[in-house]
Amino acid sequence: MISGELAGLEALGSLSTLDDPVRRRLYDAVITQDEPVSREQAATTVGIGRTLAAYHLDKLADAGLLTIIYQRPAGRGGPGAGRPAKLYRRAERELAVSVPSRDYELLATLLVESVHHDTSGAVTAAVNDAARAAGRRAVEPGGDLVESLRCCGYEPRANADGKLELRNCPFHHVAQSDPEVVCGLNLHLVEGIIESSTDPRAKAELDPRPDRCCVVVCDSARAKASSGTDPALSADRPRTRGRQGSRGKPTAT
């Protein structure tokens, strides 16, 4: 096991890779896509040459920020199909640095375990009320719903059904240990964000699926109007960092 100090130094070295503006743009170009991205696609998105893009993408992979996979395009296989393409996608590992050392995830895990063992339901109700209040505080009154969700780390995007899918769960690791408690808390947090936004008629619902947040937002006027064409809701928009990554723990998720 790597000590907390060594793990922090390793994470700091990986995150420092993003200091280069070209690498940061390439990183954003990859992580905002649901499917793995080729060197050509990343180069076109960022507006640089393929060779330069390949160099920086490999550096991001060496730092553990991206994962490399090899696969052929859909419909191509068998003899004569050529070599599989080298593709990049967001790495599953999470990186966090805190000076001095802090362990907020452990604290969150202990609190979630306490809620789970609450047989009266009183603690669960109090936590959910607190989550809803935190959601209301997370957005300026009358603030844009999509931008508020983005600033909280959810990476919202409209799907073909006119719903807002939240491509990132800010509480992913803790949710793995107790999804019932954390997903319920998450639902109330998003409901609070909706209440203070310009889209208060939108509705948050639980709809757990792999690789995204368990909450989806239905009846959002902006998502319906966009029909997948709103640039602010497209997969090509770089993620804006929000409050989850601003309190002494730079993160790359």
AA identity, residue 218: C
| CB atoms inside a 10 Å sphere around CB 112 | 19
Conformation bin of residue 149: beta by default, left when phi > 0, alpha when psi is -120 to 50: alpha
Contact 153, 98 (CB under 8 A): no
Distance CA 189, CA 174 (A): 15
pLDDT digits (tens, 9 = 90+) for 62-87: 988 999 999 876 666 655 556 788 99
AA identity, residue 162: G
Q: Cβ contacts of residue 72 below 8 Å, gap of 6+?
A: 81, 82, 84, 85
Q: Consecutive sets of 10 residues in the chain, 253 residues long: mean pLDDT of each?
A: 54 80 94 90 95 95 92 65 85 77 88 90 93 93 90 90 90 89 95 92 90 90 60 46 36 39
On whether the pTM is more than 0.85, the answer is no
Q: Cβ contacts of residue 241 below 8 Å, gap of 6+?
A: 151, 153
Distance CA 253, CA 101 (A): 19
Domains defined along the chain, listed by start: 4-96 (1.10.10.10), 104-252 (no CATH)
């107790």: which residue's tokens? 178
Percent of the chain with pLDDT over 70: 79
